[in-house]
């Protein structure tokens, strides 16, 4: 698959069809990749594909507004939902992006690997299982044991047109998919409000306001972020309990109808705040109120900028 990808990109560059290609390259650490920008044919050898490609590369399309040329990128099916939303939000024009779909069958959670197999050097996708290499030994592991949580309910956009595909693009299905998706928040929802508030307050106490969650998010493309506004100055860089809560709750609001649960925010948080739980709740509310899922079809109108007559019945 890597060879095929490299050949596609090489041709695109050779033909001058794109200015650069955004893909995954090997990282310094084992079990890590890093985003890469390929500008010349000679560089395509750097492109890799593995179960350690969590990045939603659509995030790097934010800069497209400043240019005029075409850009190529590789996406997993889940990432393609971001492209749908970026088109919907007028952030990119679909014809300026060359989308290469990679048939991902599950991404690996680094923490789970490190806990189960200390010193693991490689993990490969072996179809139904993951093959973990520790030293000289290979261990075949049930995918569920090492899978990133969000992969349990893998979702692709409906009838997305890729410019190239490296295989069949279909969601990675597990039997328990539909019940699992909101299970993570059901426990929280059953708690009294006071306990929920106390839980989140404690989580936000830890927040160092590094803005990694905002800066990795494909949907945070405002030219001037509300948190950078000077006049009025909504939030300073102080990290009091109130400031941190304000930051996270405002961001949660801004994700209404836009979060696609790529899971990146939680992955990048150095303080391990369970951000997916917060945004999953927002996602569920949107689904229940507006029967809307982000990133599935370009034609679906974003709920907060659309008025339907029967919205009058909603209690907001």
Partner 1 sequence: MSSNIYLPHLATITEIEPQTPDTMIFRVVLEDSTLAQSFIYRPGQFAELSIFGVGECPISIASTPTRKGSLEFCVRAVGQVTNALHELDVGSKIGIRGPYGNSFPLFDLEGRNLLFIGGGIGLAPLRSLINYVLDNRDHYGEVELIYGARTPQELVFKEELRLWGEQEGATVYLTVDRGDERWKGPVGFVPSFLREIAPSPENKVAFTCGPPIMIKLVMEALEEMGFPPDRIVTTLEMKMKCGVGKCGRCNIGSRYVCRDGPVFTFEELKMLPGELEF
Partner 2 sequence: MKAIKKPHLVEWLNRVAQAYDLLGPVLDGVVQFKRVKSTNQLVFDYPNSVVPPKNLFLPQTECLFAFRREGGSIILEPAGGLERERVLFGIRPCDAKSLLLLDKLFNRDLVDTYYQEKRRGTTLVGLACPSPPQRTCFCTSLGIDPLSPEGVDILLADLSDRYLVEVTTERGEALLGFSRELFLPSAGEEKPRREKEKSLEGIEEKIDSLWEDDYWRELSRRCLGCGVCTYLCPTCRCFDLTDVGSTLGGGRFRCWDSCIFADFTHMASGVNPRPTGKERVRQRYFDKFRYIPEEYGVLGCVGCGRCSRYCPVAIDTRTVINEIIARSTK
Binding interface with partner 2 (CB under 8 A): 27-30, 32-37, 55, 59-60, 203, 206, 208-212, 214-216, 228, 230, 236-240, 264, 267-268, 270-273
The CA distance from 82 to 242, in Å, is 31
- Under the binding rule (CB under 8 A), the answer on residue 233 touching partner 1 is yes
Quick one: residue 258, left, alpha or beta (phi over 0 = left, psi -120 to 50 = alpha)? Answer: alpha
CB–CB of 184/280 below 8 Å? yes
CB–CB of 277/184 below 8 Å? yes
Nearer to partner 2, 198 or 210 (CB): 210
Nearest Cα residue to 122 out of 76, 36, 23, 110: 110
Nearer to partner 2, 212 or 301 (CB): 212
Residue 159's binding partner, choosing from partner 1, partner 2, none, with beta-carbon cut-off 5 to 8 A by kind?
none
Minimum distance from residue 306 beta carbon to partner 2 (Å):
31
- Bridge partners of 147, per DSSP, are 108
My answer on whether omega of the bond before 178 falls inside 30° of 0, hence cis, is: no
Residues 203-232 that bind partner 1 (CB under 8 A): 230-231
Minimum distance from residue 237 beta carbon to partner 1 (Å):
12
The CA distance from 181 to 179, in Å, is 6
Residue 292's binding partner, choosing from partner 1, partner 2, none, with beta-carbon cut-off 5 to 8 A by kind?
none
CB–CB of 275/269 below 8 Å? yes
Nearer to partner 2, 30 or 103 (CB): 30
Minimum distance from residue 316 beta carbon to partner 1 (Å):
34
- Bridge partners of 101, per DSSP, are 75, 165
Q: What count of other Cβ atoms lies within 10 Å of the Cβ of residue 312?
A: 7
The CA distance from 109 to 22, in Å, is 22
Nearer to partner 2, 5 or 213 (CB): 213
Nearer to partner 2, 173 or 210 (CB): 210
Residue 28's binding partner, choosing from partner 1, partner 2, none, with beta-carbon cut-off 5 to 8 A by kind?
partner 2
- Under the binding rule (CB under 8 A), the answer on residue 237 touching partner 1 is no
Residue numbers at the binding site for partner 1 (CB under 8 A): 230-231, 233
């Amino acid at each position: 698959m890597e060879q095929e990808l490299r050949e596609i990109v090489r041709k695109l560059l050779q033909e001058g069809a794109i200015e650069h290609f955004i893909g995954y390259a090997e990282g310094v650490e084992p079990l890590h990749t890093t985003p890469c920008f390929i500008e010349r044919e000679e560089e395509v050898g750097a492109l890799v594909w593995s179960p350690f490609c969590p990045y939603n590369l659509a995030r790097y399309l934010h800069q497209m507004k400043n240019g005029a040329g075409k850009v190529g990128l590789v996406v997993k099916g889940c990432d393609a939902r971001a492209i749908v939303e970026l088109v919907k939000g007028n952030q990119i024009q679909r014809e300026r992006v060359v989308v290469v779909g990679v048939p991902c069958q599950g991404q690996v959670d680094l923490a789970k690997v490190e806990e189960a197999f200390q010193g693991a050097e490689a993990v490969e996708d072996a179809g139904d299982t993951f093959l973990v290499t520790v030293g000289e030994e290979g261990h075949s592991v049930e995918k569920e044991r090492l899978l990133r949580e969000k992969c349990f309910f893998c979702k692709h956009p409906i009838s997305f047109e890729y410019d190239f595909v490296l295989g069949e693009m279909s969601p990675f299905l597990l039997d328990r998919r539909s019940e699992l998706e909101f299970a993570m928040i059901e426990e929280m929802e059953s708690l009294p409000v006071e306990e929920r508030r106390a839980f989140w307050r404690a989580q936000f106490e830890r927040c160092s306001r590094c803005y990694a969650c905002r800066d990795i998010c494909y949907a945070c493309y405002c030219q001037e972020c509300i948190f950078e506004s000077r006049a009025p100055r909504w939030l300073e860089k102080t990290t009091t309990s109130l400031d941190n809560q304000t930051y996270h709750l405002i961001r949660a609001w801004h994700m209404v109808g836009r979060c696609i649960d790529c899971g990146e925010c939680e992955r990048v948080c150095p303080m391990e705040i369970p951000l997916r739980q917060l945004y999953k709740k927002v996602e569920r509310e949107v689904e229940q109120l507006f029967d809307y899922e982000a990133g599935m079809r370009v034609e679906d109108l974003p709920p907060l900028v659309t008025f339907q007559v029967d919205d009058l019945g909603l209690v907001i």
